[in-house]
Amino acid sequence: MDTHTYPGRGLSVSQLIFALNEELKRVAYSPLFTLEAVSQLDWDGSTALASIREWRNSLVRVNRIPIDILSLIPTHLTSQKDHFHAASVCRHWRGVLLNHGAMWSQLFLGKGEECVSTLLERAKGSVLDVVAYGDPPVGTVTLISSRAQQIRHLELRHIRWQDITTFSELKPLLRTLKIISPETTNLHGQPIILAPPSLTLFSGSISLEQFVFCSWRLPLLNHFSFPNLTTFELLSDPSGNYSALHLLDFLKDSPTLQMVEVRISEVWMQDVPQEMVVVLPNAETFSLRVADGPTTRVYDIGTHISCPSARQMALKCEIDDSDMGLYLAIFPTPVLWDTIVHQHMANPIEEVTLEIDGSDDDNIRSFLTFQTSDATTVRLGFDIDDTGADRDELNMPRDEMGWEIFSQALTTIRDHPLISHVKRLRIKYRAAAPHTFGMLAVADKVQGLFDSLGPLDQLTICGCDLHVFLATFLDDPVFYDLEQPIVFPQIRELAILHPLMDDDEMECMDAIKELAMSQYMLGVPFERVTVRMWSLPDGMAEELGQWVATVDCCQEWYREE
């Protein structure tokens, strides 16, 4: 006799089979033998066999996983399609997973009323994540209206503003709201009026924490106000004369913001009061990118925003080459720079990194990063995109672009109010070398920068033309008119990471030796010199060893770190 009892039946498997066999004999020899009786017996037999298979399946090791653990499986599945597959593995899994409401809480309204209705039934009282794309069926919106208080996450993609207003009227208790590229014009290209100016959308969402807004009209921001917002992402291309005041007013009404990421273009400052400063006391990261406008526009806006507690502040300008000849003020003016520094950096800076990458045929990217003693960073970025431009019609030759950025960056570093506290300076440059007439000007900028620096723990020069740094130690007519000799500050560690491509630059190796000797004679010797180059002259390490405590010379392709 089988000792395993089938749940809910009180019979063992052997007893169940025996009972079915006896019932078959009774019906077969009964004078009341009918087709209906046989059909019922067939049904009972099929039911019994299904129950036996279900019971046997429950003994499989994978189905002995505790229910509270099995119900965690959906949290590791990436799509709703995977959820349906998991619920179809077997009856046991289906029974468990259908009772896990959170598994069915993501609703794509475009899938229709039947699907939405089924998922709402399964979700029960779970928090809902609703996604509407295009023109959502009216019936699906009606279905979720009775569950509006369960909606915590709402994503509206490419839908009409009338529909956005409808969702707003549902009064959902949102935590996150994403509005991506709503329609702003009708079929005739005429602007769609959002709502009366007094109407504020989703006004009841006092618990909203994250707002992502991608729109082609920046003024639409004035229809939203979320006093407890912590995360804000904005992508807007107004394609018209719109004021930055819309953005500043929105930020002012969101004092609890902790993370802000904004990318806008073609905005103007005329309506912004000069004395206006929006303080975000809780902001930890702030990123502002301005495209297709004057290069200093991003700094103009930045001076009206103060993030005293931010750990990361990024201001970036993006333009195409057609504007390069018009906007040559790449970095903030001294007045703007001083304002930005004092609004975002409370402690002295210890590290400055300049990165310029012109290795891409269509882009030049640069970043100038300042880091304070408490690891707070302010990052100034600049991108030039000349994709598809006619090389013969560029406003500025490509090699001059990179060195114009380099030259202005050195001035911006020098003008930093707290530059004398810098301990580490890193310069990384990947672009063509300047023409002869430009090298003298850049060398003058290097001299001015070094004069403003105090003692450095580390100076790293990566990939940059060494002539503009070693001009004092080169017998080169290009630098005969140098205003003053380049005098290096006291430096504990010097690292030169550079590809040596031809014999013309071998003279720089002798200049490095003279530099090391000069620092030694001035009483401020290098403690360590690291050189990484593709080709090194014989005996260079030994010669440097006369003037430097530790020398690390290696003939290899240079590495950034």
Whether 116 is in a domain gets the answer yes
Q: What band does 81 get if pLDDT is binned at 50, 70 and 90?
A: confident
Q: What are phi and psi of 108, to 5 degrees?
A: -100, 105
Q: What band does 561 get if pLDDT is binned at 50, 70 and 90?
A: very low
CA angle 454, 458, 463 (to 5 degrees): 115
Give me the number of domains the chain comprises: 2
Q: Read off the pLDDT of residues 526-548 as tens digits, 9 standing for 90 and up.
A: 999 999 887 788 888 899 999 99
| C-alpha–C-alpha distance, residues 343 and 302, integer Å | 9
In the predicted model, what is the mean pLDDT of residues 265-285? 91
Q: Which has the closest alpha carbon to 557: 499, 483, 471? A: 499
For the CA atoms of 91, 96, 99, 100, the dihedral, rounded to the nearest 10 degrees, stands at -130
| C-alpha–C-alpha distance, residues 251 and 438, integer Å | 43
| C-alpha–C-alpha distance, residues 122 and 144, integer Å | 13
Domain boundary among 59, 81, 96: 59
Say if CB 247 and CB 301 are below 8 A apart. yes
Q: What is the pLDDT at residue 258? A: 97
In the predicted model, what is the mean pLDDT of residues 95-105? 76
Does residue 523 have a pLDDT over 60?
Answer: yes
pTM of the model: 0.79
54 and 110 both lie in a single domain:
no
Q: What is the pLDDT at residue 526? A: 96
In the predicted model, what is the mean pLDDT of residues 45-62? 65
CA atoms within 13 A on the CB side of 165: 13
Whether 150 is in a domain gets the answer yes
In the predicted model, what is the mean pLDDT of residues 207-223? 87
In 280-411, DSSP assigns E strands to: 285-291, 305-306, 312-320, 349-357, 363-372, 377-385
Q: What is the pLDDT at residue 455? A: 94
Q: What band does 4 get if pLDDT is binned at 50, 70 and 90?
A: very low
Whether 148 is in a domain gets the answer yes
Burial class from Cβ neighbours inside 10 Å (0-12, 13-18, 19+) for residue 452 reads middle
Which H or E run includes 91? helix 91-98
Mean pLDDT score across all residues of the chain: 81
User: Residue written as tokens 């100016």?
Assistant: 197
| C-alpha–C-alpha distance, residues 139 and 117, integer Å | 10
| C-alpha–C-alpha distance, residues 138 and 520, integer Å | 81
Does residue 375 have a pLDDT over 70?
Answer: yes
Identify the residue with better confidence: 385 or 412. 412
In the predicted model, what is the mean pLDDT of residues 161-169? 88
Q: Which has the closest alpha carbon to 201: 263, 154, 137? A: 154
Q: What is the pLDDT at residue 536? A: 80
| C-alpha–C-alpha distance, residues 133 and 140, integer Å | 12
SS3 520: helix
Identify the residue with better confidence: 273 or 92. 273
Q: What is the pLDDT at residue 29? A: 59
Q: What is the pLDDT at residue 8? A: 44
Beta strand 363-372 pairing with 377-385:
antiparallel
Whether 327 is in a domain gets the answer no
Burial class from Cβ neighbours inside 10 Å (0-12, 13-18, 19+) for residue 397 reads middle
Q: What is the percent of the chain with per-residue pLDDT over 90, rounded to a whole number?
A: 31
Identify the residue with better confidence: 85 or 181. 181
Q: What is the pLDDT at residue 422? A: 93
Q: What is the pLDDT at residue 539? A: 86
Whether 521 is in a domain gets the answer no
CA angle 242, 327, 442 (to 5 degrees): 150
In the predicted model, what is the mean pLDDT of residues 53-73? 65
| C-alpha–C-alpha distance, residues 378 and 338, integer Å | 13
Beta strand 259-265 pairing with 210-215:
unpaired
Q: What band does 398 get if pLDDT is binned at 50, 70 and 90?
A: low
Q: Read off the pLDDT of residues 10-48 as tens digits, 9 standing for 90 and up.
A: 566 566 667 766 666 665 655 555 667 666 666 766 776
Beta strand 349-357 pairing with 363-372:
antiparallel
Say if CB 90 and CB 115 are below 8 A apart. no
Q: What is the pLDDT at residue 456? A: 95
Domain interval for residue 19: 13-59
| C-alpha–C-alpha distance, residues 38 and 50, integer Å | 18
Q: What is the pLDDT at residue 502? A: 58
